[in-house]
Structures are given as C-alpha cells and as structure tokens.
Amino acid sequence: MLDVIILVLDSTLRLSTPLLFACLAGLFSERSGIVDIGLEGKMLGGAFAAGAVAYWTQDPWLGLLAAIFVSVLLALIHGFASITNRGNQVVAGVAINFLAAGLTVLLGQAWFAQGGRTPQLDMDWRFSPITLPFAESIQNVPFIGPIYADLLSGHNILVYAAFVAVPLTWWVVFRTRFGLRLRAVGESPQAVDTAGISVAWLRYRAVIICGALCGFAGAYLAIAQSAGFIKDMSAGKGFIALAALIFAKWKPVNAMFACLLFGFLDAVANLMQGQSIPGVGEVPVQFFQALPYILTVVLLAGFIGRAIPPKASGIPYVKERT
Amino acid sequence: MTISLDNQSVREASTHGVAAIELKGINKSFGPVHANKDIDLVVGKGSIHGIVGENGAGKSTLMSILYGFYTADTGDIIVDGKTVKIPDSKTAIEVGIGMVHQHFMLVDPFTVVENVMLGAEGGAMLSEGIARVRKELGRLADEYDMKIDLDAVVGELPVGLQQRVEILKALYRGADILILDEPTGVLTPAEADHLFRILRVLRDEGKTILLITHKLREIMDVTDQVSVMRRGEMVASRKTAETSMSELAELMVGRSVLLEVNKQPAQPKDALLKVANLNVKDDRGVMRVKNVSLEVKAGEILGIAGVSGNGQSELLKALSGITRAETGSMELVGNTIDLTKNHSSSDFRELGMSHVPEDRHRMGLVNAFSEYENSILGYHREQKYSNGMLLNVSGIREEAKERMEKYDIRPRDTELKAAKFSGGNQQKIVLAREIECDPDVLLIGQPTRGVDIGAIEYIHKRIIEMRDAGKAVLLVSVELDEIRSLADRILVMFDGNVVGERGPDATEQELGLLMAGVTDEAAE
C-alpha cells in the first residue's frame, strides 16, 4: 500500500511542477494588475524553444535559457499590448495562446519535418533525475527510507527549483520593496503613480518575471518531463495554473498547495486509467481530468470563501482627468 | 468682478514675506476645454491659503499641475524662489510638495505602515524601512496630535482616519507644502474640526498649506489668504480677514450678463409634485440631502439654488428614481410613491415625470449613439417606436428630423453621433426628448452648463413655455442668474438642507448669503 501511495505522490510532484511555475508566473503578473490568460501560450512557446535548442546544442541548460528567452519575448508582447497600448488584457493573452500554438507547429515542421515535433532528445541532453545524498543508504529504513529515497529523491533539478521558487516568491512579494510596489500597483495604480513610481515600468518588470517563470514551466515539459517538444504539449496546464491561482487567492504558499492538489488529481487520473473501482466500475478518465475545474468551482463557491482578485487587475492604467 | 482689480491683490500678497509657491501664467487645456487660463498665484510661506471655486472651476486641475499629475501647457512654477519643472509626482515630492487627494490615493488592503512607506521605502528590503516608518510616525503622531493604529488595514479605517494616513504620508516624505483637495467632503463636522486643528498646528510649525474647497465657511474659519477661481480663471485674491462670505460667494458664482427673460407672472394651480421629508445618502454613505420637503405647482418654476455639491445632484437623482432615498415620499400627479424603495425611472416617466439630467454626457445621452437613437432613449418601449421586438427605425428617424427642425438642432443630421454635437445642441437633443413626451412634471438639472449664449436663450424660452402650458417645473442650477430669471420661487440648498425660500425678486446678495450657509436667523 505504501508503495502505491508513494508512487502517486511521486507522480504528483512531477505533475505539479509545471503548474507551480506557471501559477507563480501568473501570480507576479496578476499581482501587478495584468490578467494573464496567456500562461498557456508562453509555456508552449518556451517548451518548443527548449526542445529545439536542446537538440541543436545538446545542452539542457541552453534549452532552458532559450525557453526563458522566448517566453519573456511573448510576455513583452503581452505587456506592450496591455501596458503601453492599454489594450484588453484577456484578448491579448488569447492572441498569445493562438500565436504560440500555431507558430510552434509551423516552425517545428519547417525545421525538423517531424509533424511539428522536435527530434527525440538523448538522456544527457535533458534534465535528468538527481539522487539526493544518502538516498541509497537509507532506502531500507522503514517508512522514512522510501519517502526520502523514492518520493523526495530522484527528481530533476527543475522540480526542486519549482519548490524553491515558492518561498522565494513569498519573500520577494512580501519582504522587498519591489514586492510592496507590485502588490500596490495591482490594487491601486493611482496610489503608486502619486507616490512617484512608474506604473508602466513596474508592470513591465512583473510580466518579464512572469515570462521567465513560464519559460521554466515550458522547459520542464519539453526537456525534463519528456524528451522533446510535442504539438500542444502544454495541454491546458496554463489554464489549470490560473484556476490554482484563484484558488490560492494570489498567495504563493497557497499556490503551492493548490498546484499539489491539482497535480495529485492528475496523478490519480493516470493511475485510475483503465482500472475499475469496485462497485462503480470503470470511471472515465475525463472525469478525473475535469476534477480540477469542478473542484475550483465548488471550493470557491462554498468552502474557501470569496477569492478577491487584485482590485486593478484587468484595467489598463490611464491617468484620470479630474 | 474684473480682472484688473485682482492683479492688485495678487501683487499685494506677493509682497508679504516669502512665497512658498508662485505660479505665473499657467495654462492647461484638455482638448477644447480650457481648464486653466493664465493662472497667477502667490502662496505665502507658513500660511494657510484657500482656493475656492465651484466644481469644474479648474481648482483640481491646477493642483494636479502643481503635483506633477498633469503638466501645464505654458507657465512657470516657482517653489521657494526657484523655478522648477514638475513633470511627475516624484519631482513634486522632491521639491517638498505633498498632496492629499480628494479621492484618497491609498492601497486599501495595505496596513497604515505599508501605505506610508510606499514609494519611500528607503532600501530594497522592507524590514529596515518598516522600523523607520514606525518611529517617524510615532513622532509625527505626538507632534501633530494624529494618533493612528499603525497596523490597521487602511480599507477598514473610517474615512477621517484614511485621510490622516494621507497627511502622514505626505509629512513622512518631508513635505513642506501640503495641498488638500476638498478634504472635508467626506468628513463629519467633528472630524473636519479636528483636521483644521491639525492644519493650524502644521502652519505654526512653518508648513505651508493650500486648501482647496468650495465651502466658504471653511475658508473663513481656517485660512489666512483666499483666492477665487471661476471657469478656469483666477478671479480674485483676498486676505481672509478682509473679505466676507457673501463677497466670496459672489466672486465664485460670478456675475455674468443677466439674460433678460420675458415672462408673465406665474399662475400656479394645484401641486403636481410634493416631496416630504427626503433624506438621501451618496455612494460613500454621506448624507447629502437632509430633511427636504418641497412642492411644485402646475404652472410654476421652482428654482433650487446653491453652490454645487450641496445636495442638489442627490435630490434630483432621488426624485427621478435613480437612487434610493433613506427616508421620504413623493406625490407625483396624485400618485404616492415611497422613495425609500427601489424604483425605475421609467415608472416615474409613465406617471408623467420627465428629467433632463445634470450631466448630459453621463446620464442624458449615449455619446456613441447617433442622434435619432438618442432621441428615444428611455422612451424606446413606446408603441410608436417599437413593436416590442423591433424598432420602428424609419418612424424614429422621421420624428427625429422634425424635432431637429423644431428645436433648431444643428447640424441637421440624425445619423451623427451625439458626441459630435456641440454642448448646446446636445442639450437641445435631451430637452427635445424630455419635453416632446408632454410630461406633467419636468425636472431639469443645470440646463445651460457648457451651453453657448444663443442656445441658453432658446432653452430658457422653452422652460418658460412649459410653465405657461401648466406644467410643474423643478429647476436645479448653480447659475444664480438663471435661477433668478426663470424661477417663480427659489429654494436655496446648503449642506443638504433647504436653508431658505425667496421670491423671484430676491437680491443676489441675499441669495449669495444663503448659498454660503448664512441662514436667516444667523444673518440678523
């Protein structure tokens, strides 16, 4: 039994990682007042860049850098549309999603001619699992051994990075000057403006960070979890990350738990695939896939109370004529 | 008042001690609106300087220029003897100007400490700054009697304390010149008194205070010097001790050419509109209309005079069914209506009331709609305009065309968007719509605001015609001349109360005093 539990939890960590990066990315953007429905697209663009560059250079780190670069570029397009030109943030985000979905396949086909995929990566061109110190020596200690050796150890560096990013994000948002201003600009940009701080520059920095984190998420998908980019491989994770963000009420530690929960549901869905539950029979896998969304609606409606977004999110900042 | 007279007093002010701020020839336009025209202003160091004027007189624009929120088109700003450019708020803070905005610039979910330190954190990490803010706020609180719970969430504080946070914010940033924009609008009288005590202490400590308000009593109470703005111009500057409320009221409202309106004495009949015991709160929960009762008879025009912001807007909104009243009822053409319930304006319209709202852009018209569409707003359900599903577009256009002729709306183009018409013609579109439906009771707010002289005469004539046709007209205007030339009876509102009733022959002086809140008893 412990084996199965550890298997599911281990899988949970892997599946939560891209959600967590994307969720924290969204947190920076939305805390600054920029609604980002384009997490999905940035992730996908990043994944493609990572797959392509890791293949060409045979180096996962360069793949990661490329993912960050492309994702930040997409974030800057979003920023240019919604900060500089005060466009509709949702529309701009949707455009980013379409752009990434189309462009990745187009370029993939043009460059690699494998139906939009990037070529299969060798083991050492990807981020490979890391064995934590002493994992092997304590493997046989009951209970603690398997938890340490099989659950916590043996993930690639990006998984650990995602979980390190949580306290880091908390610290940046709640303990630094940048974080204070970030929180303020999402609530009341006019207060920030009258305090002598540039609203636009602050929001640009937020979307750049958002882009970078989406780059991590994309790189994880293409060159850590899989061995190359596949068409539409983000598969709605950007949207689940948004749901997790709302669920987490835009707070970093909550975001981690929300992403773990959604990752767990995903892991269970994988496990239950094709298996039948006694007395119920085979449950369609779609049911488990829909669970995160159902859960979000149900929990938001009744259990965790109202999730109030940053007050100014979605509203372009225009100095008001008084 | 003439300009030449006032330059003299400006010069006089500048010879008094050092000037903390000097403005020379400030101009600012927003598109066609000239919000500030050649403004000169001298503010003495260590004084409380009031700036009065009606809403829309350009006070807030001027202060926004001073605080770097807007940049002036032309003109110089001199702070402490040095000419400065203030392109943004950061620069304003650097030269020692702090501002308490009318709508607070606070981050609601933040604590007092976080709000105060925003933009003046003193380092990339917060911990050090937090300690410094706590210490400094403790000192300021003692020095100026401004105690406040530093860890309270600002959004949960009462407005009086929120304002205190704004002042502390400015002081923490080392402001020597403090601008307060309509600071008492949201305060209770007791809170306002406390604020004034704080301002006096600040002045005595050498700070310079600019107080923007349209409340004359506050000016008389707390300022040393007062400047009056009207329609974008600085029309006068006085020592507070040497002026009076009635003089200031006159200067604020202005004495434009009195438009002669030919009319016979009114022949009032039965009351068509009776309002009893009306109390109305605004969106912020401040009581803006207090115990107002009135009646308007068929065949008379009842004028409501008052400096703007004294409850007239809320009165109109409550009577037309736009907002709910706290208490009060209305009798409209024989139907008793409980105004504390939610109503729709169309219910009142069916009972024979029509309404020309004060703000034609926000409430009277849909600017992006064409003229013919605007000509049926609110009446679109009527049978002649629609069959329930589809609009009778050709019929509507036809009628709109006739009305354009009748009311001389130019250009005569029913397809033109409302925004493209001039102010006077826009007003005529609204007026035509609200008069042509043949109401028994007509509510009119600021009928000639932003309207050219020709259209003013026309609109006045129409209003008189309505009266002579036996309608009951309730006219709200901040233009005293308009009230005096049109109304058969005049009620003056001040701070939500009706402070007096006068006949059409009341003098400007008399009304000005009432508008300043000097009631009959106090005047004697």
Give the pLDDT means over successive 10-residue stretches in chain A (322 positions).
87 95 97 96 97 96 97 97 94 96 95 92 91 83 83 92 97 96 95 92 97 97 95 92 91 95 88 76 78 77 74 83 41
CA distance B68 to chain A (A): 9
Share of chain B above pLDDT 90, in %: 53
Within-domain flag for A158: yes
Within-domain flag for A247: no
Axis-axis angle for helices A89-112, A60-79 (nearest 10): 140
The answer to whether B419 faces chain A, any CB pair under 8 Å, is no
Within-domain flag for B314: yes
Within-domain flag for A105: yes
CB within 8 Å of A55: residues ≥ 6 apart? A112, A118, A119, A121, A125, A228
Within-domain flag for A257: no
Query: At B260, is the pLDDT very low, low, confident or very high (cuts 50, 70, 90)?
Result: low
pLDDT mean over B341-358: 91
Query: At B257, is the pLDDT very low, low, confident or very high (cuts 50, 70, 90)?
Result: very low
The answer to whether B90 faces chain A, any CB pair under 8 Å, is yes
Query: At B14, is the pLDDT very low, low, confident or very high (cuts 50, 70, 90)?
Result: very low
Within-domain flag for B197: no
Q: Point out the least confidently predicted range of A129-133, B192-196, B248-252.
A: B248-252
The answer to whether B25 faces chain A, any CB pair under 8 Å, is no
Pairwise CB contact (< 8 Å): A191 & B106: yes
> Each residue of B477-494: pLDDT tens digit?
987 878 988 999 999 998
> Same domain for B349 and B214?
no
CA distance B116 to chain A (A): 10
> Same domain for B308 and B292?
yes
Q: If you measure CA to CA, which chain B residue comes closest to A321?
A: B61
> Same domain for B319 and B457?
yes
> Same domain for B518 and B486?
yes
Nearest to A321 among B30, B114, B169 (CB): B30
> Same domain for B85 and B114?
no
Alpha-carbon span B168 to B385, nearest angstrom: 58
**Structural domains in chain B (count):** 3
> Same domain for B348 and B493?
yes
The reported pLDDT for the residue numbered B226 is: 95
Q: Are B335 and B351 in contact (CB under 8 A)?
A: yes
**Structural domains in chain A (count):** 1
B419 vs B339, higher pLDDT: B339
Pairwise CB contact (< 8 Å): A196 & B90: yes
> Same domain for B148 and B118?
yes
What does the longest C-alpha to C-alpha distance in chain A come to? Answer: 72
> Same domain for B30 and B7?
yes
> Same domain for B181 and B318?
no
Within-domain flag for A318: no
> Same domain for B238 and B316?
no
Within-domain flag for A152: yes
The amino acid at residue B374 is: N
CATH number of the domain at B19, please.
3.40.50.300
Which residues of A are less than 8 Å from B232 in CB distance? none
Within-domain flag for B238: yes
The answer to whether B112 faces chain A, any CB pair under 8 Å, is no
- The answer to whether residue B7 scores a pLDDT higher than 80 is no
Nearest to A190 among B30, B105, B123 (CB): B105
Angle at A114 between CA A111 and CA A120, to 5 degrees: 95
Within-domain flag for A203: yes
> Same domain for B245 and B278?
no
> Same domain for B123 and B86?
no
Question: What is each CA distance from B12 to A192, B7, B48, B147, B235, in whole angstroms?
Answer: 39, 9, 16, 39, 15
Residue-number span of the structural domain to which B162 is assigned: 104-175
Pairwise CB contact (< 8 Å): A195 & B106: no
The reported pLDDT for the residue numbered A303 is: 64
Which class for A239: exposed (0-12), middle (13-18), buried (19 or more C-beta within 10 A)? middle
Pairwise CB contact (< 8 Å): A180 & B30: no
Pairwise CB contact (< 8 Å): A188 & B106: yes
User: Which has the closest alpha carbon to B264: B490, B491, B440, B468?
Assistant: B468
CA distance B121 to chain A (A): 6
Residue-number span of the structural domain to which A180 is assigned: 17-235
CB within 8 Å of A11: residues ≥ 6 apart? A266, A267, A270, A271
Q: Are A213 and A165 in contact (CB under 8 A)?
A: yes
Nearest to B110 among A176, A184, A196 (CB): A184
User: Which has the closest alpha carbon to B9: B236, B241, B242, B240?
Assistant: B236
CA distance B378 to chain A (A): 29
What stretches of B31-141 adopt beta strand conformation (E)? Answer: 33-44, 48-52, 74-79, 82-84, 97-100
Within-domain flag for A303: no
Pairwise CB contact (< 8 Å): A175 & B126: yes
